[in-house]
Structure 1
Amino acid sequence: MLKVAIIGATGVVGQEFIVALDKHPWFKVEAIAASERSAGKKYLDALRDSSTGIMKWHQRTPIPDYARDMVVKSVNEIDAKDYDLIFTAVESDDARIIEPKLAEHTPVISTAAAFRYEQDVPILIPGVNDEHAELLDVQRKRRGWKGFIAPLPNCTTTGLAITLKPIMDEFGIERVIMTSLQAVSGAGRSPGVAALDIFDNIIPFIPKEEEKVQVEAKKILGRLVDGRIDDARFRVSCTCTRVPVIDGHTECAFVETSKGCEPDDVKRAMLNYSKHVSIKDLPSAPEDYIIVHDDPSRPQPRLDRDVNDGMSTIVGRIRKDTAFENGVKYVLLSHNEKMGSAKGAVLLAEMLKVKELL
């Protein structure tokens, strides 16, 4: 069992880590840390609003028994040398300060954007670009660290990159156009999206989201060459919107391919990739990495987001695109709080352990 610490354990994503690591066969949570306001309290008490007594627990499952009475540490109390792996669930500004100090001694897997775009930092999605993990050793040597920083992609990028991978491998990609319909949980709860803003409404702008997707998709699907990532050469354009759905990001993707292909060819490529994906035997891996529906009314967030505990990417409506000479279009659904967040980070940790990077 590897000894694990969680930084930012009382926040929404930190809570997801608490749940995702419950009874994990490889990782044991030895410490949880949060702000000075929570430090010194039992986890259960740190989640309780002092003025109202209301529990700020946002998960559908109860607080796992192992965490209830753990005493929350401050970040400054965490000695990275005491742990084999640290998960961080903090805002990017805090991550830029906290994560390098931890990575000097111990591998860090992060949900923040702070280091995603640096040359020696891969953006890893298990089963999509596992070979990029080699860059973590380059990062260690360049920075003189014993550990490393391995950030997850933006949750909107995750499902898109997973579905583009088999298309790129079989047919090549020239252009990608995507419109997202993103769940309100992706905005967090503080400050989040106000209820009166999202009810009976669609918000057609999410700050920095489009830029993240456009950069990250090309980096994830690029090639590792001489200690750096050569970004994929296709062009990406997207519009990201917020819709009144609790969980699950839906995306409408339009892909111009280098080679001609039919919808059935794309379906076959996705299912074949899902069947042979490299991470199938990892503890957190879903039975199906990609599920393709023939029913034109699917995927739907309410029906499909929790399939395989939210770790599958669900695809439907694969059809020819009439604007591109070679092209297809489809709808995908990815669970932003599972595969796109803490549970995806745990899956990444499993992949890195198998590669003996932990």
Structure 2
Amino acid sequence: MLKVAVIGATGAVGQEFVVALNKHRWFQLTQVAASERSAGKKYVDAIRDPSSGILRWHNREEVPEYVRNMVVSRVEDIKPENFDLIFTALESDDAKVIEPKFARTTPVISTAAAFRYEADVPILIPGINDEQVDLLNVQKKNRGWKGFIAPLPNCTTTGLAITLKPILDKYGIEKVFMTSMQALSGAGRSPGVIALDIMDNVIPYIPKEEEKVQVEAKKILGSMGKESITPADFRVSCTCTRVPVLDGHTESVFVETEKPAEAEDVKKEMLKFSRNVSIKALPTAPKEYIMVHDDPTRPQPRIDREINDGMTTVVGRLRKDTAFDNGIKYVLLSHNEKMGSAKGAVLLAELLKDKKIL
């Protein structure tokens, strides 16, 4: 068993880490850390609202027994050399300072954007760009670290990159247009979204989100060179919106392909990719990596987000596009708090262990 710590354990993403690591076959969570106001408290008390005493537990499952009485540490008191791996669920400004300190001795898997765009840092999605894990060794050499920083993509990028991969491999891609309808949980608790702003409403702007997706999708689907990644050679344009849905990011995607692509053939490619995905034997990998619906009313967040415990990317309304000479369009649903966040990070840790990077 590898010993792991979770930093930012009391927030929404941190709570998902706690659930994802419960009874894990490979990883043992032995320490949790959070802000000063939580430090010194039992975990179950640290996630209570201080004024009302209400348990601020985001997950539908109960607080796991193994962590309820674990005492929350200050981040400053974490000794990274005592762990085989550290998961972080931090804001980017904090991640910029804290994660390099840990990475000097210990691998870090991060949900923050702080290091995603640096040349020696891959943005990894298990099953999509596994070959890019080699860049972590370049990073260690460049920075003189024993560990590394491996960030997840933005949760909006995850489902998009997963569905584009089989299309890119078979047909090539010229352009991608995407409009997202993103869940409230993607905004976190702080600052979050005010209820009166989102009720009966759609917010047509999420700061920095569109720029992140446009850069990350091309880096993830790029080609690995000797010491760097060459971004994929297609254009991405997107509009990111917030909608009154609790969990699950829905995206409407239009793809101009280099070669002619029929909808039924693209479906077959997606399902073939899903059946043969490289990470299918890992403990957290879903039974179906990609699921494609023929029902034109699917996917829907309320119905489809928990398929395979939120680890499956669900596709529907796959059809020929009429605006492009060669093109298709579809709707996807990806669970932003599971595959797009903590549980996806645990899957990444499994991939790195399997490849003997951990």
Q: Could you state the TM-score of these two structures normalised by the residue count of structure 2? A: 0.99
Paired with 1:48 and 1:301, the residues of 2 have a C-alpha distance of 28
Verify the 8 A CA contact 2:40 2:71 in the aligned structure 1. yes
Which 10-residue stretch deviates more, 182-191 or 80-89? 182-191
Equivalent residue number for residue 295 of structure 1: 295
Please state whether the residue corresponding to 2:190 is helix, strand or coil.
Answer: helix
Paired with 2:341 and 2:325, the residues of 1 have a C-alpha distance of 36
Verify the 8 A CA contact 2:256 2:327 in the aligned structure 1. yes
Verify the 8 A CA contact 2:178 2:237 in the aligned structure 1. yes
Please state whether the residue corresponding to 1:185 is helix, strand or coil.
Answer: helix
> Per-residue CA shift, 1:262-294, capped at 9, x if unaligned?
001100100000000000010000000000000
Shift of 1:112: 0.2
Shift of 1:77: 0.7
> Per-residue CA shift, 1:238-281, capped at 9, x if unaligned?
00011111111000000000100100110010000000000001
Equivalent residue number for residue 161 of structure 1: 161
Equivalent residue number for residue 36 of structure 2: 36
Equivalent residue number for residue 261 of structure 1: 261
Shift of 1:50: 2.6
Paired with 1:122 and 1:142, the residues of 2 have a C-alpha distance of 14
- Whether 1:231 aligns to 2:231 is yes
> Per-residue CA shift, 1:179-219, capped at 9, x if unaligned?
00111111112221111111111110000000000000000
AA aligned opposite 2:128:
V
Please state whether the residue corresponding to 2:329 is helix, strand or coil.
Answer: strand
Alignment of 1:172-251 (within 5 A): 172-251=172-251
Paired with 1:37 and 1:315, the residues of 2 have a C-alpha distance of 42
Equivalent residue number for residue 87 of structure 1: 87
Equivalent residue number for residue 280 of structure 1: 280
Verify the 8 A CA contact 2:159 2:334 in the aligned structure 1. yes
Paired with 1:244 and 1:69, the residues of 2 have a C-alpha distance of 34
Paired with 1:190 and 1:87, the residues of 2 have a C-alpha distance of 20
> Per-residue CA shift, 1:286-309, capped at 9, x if unaligned?
000000000111101111000000
Identical columns (%): 73
Paired with 1:265 and 1:22, the residues of 2 have a C-alpha distance of 40
Task: Please identify runs of 4+ aligned residues in structure 1 that moved more than 6 A.
Answer: none
Shift of 1:49: 2.4
Paired with 2:294 and 2:51, the residues of 1 have a C-alpha distance of 51
Shift of 1:37: 1.3
CA RMSD of aligned residues (A): 0.6
AA aligned opposite 1:219:
K
Paired with 1:220 and 1:280, the residues of 2 have a C-alpha distance of 19
Equivalent residue number for residue 134 of structure 1: 134
Alignment of 1:300-319 (within 5 A): 300-319=300-319
AA aligned opposite 2:287:
E
AA aligned opposite 1:106:
T
Verify the 8 A CA contact 2:11 2:189 in the aligned structure 1. no
Shift of 1:51: 2.2
> Per-residue CA shift, 1:294-335, capped at 9, x if unaligned?
011110111100000000000011111111100000000000
Please state whether the residue corresponding to 2:269 is helix, strand or coil.
Answer: helix
Runs of 5+ unmatched residues, structure 1: none
AA aligned opposite 1:22:
N
Shift of 1:344: 0.3
Equivalent residue number for residue 66 of structure 2: 66
> Per-residue CA shift, 1:60-85, capped at 9, x if unaligned?
11110110011111011111000000
Runs of 5+ unmatched residues, structure 2: none
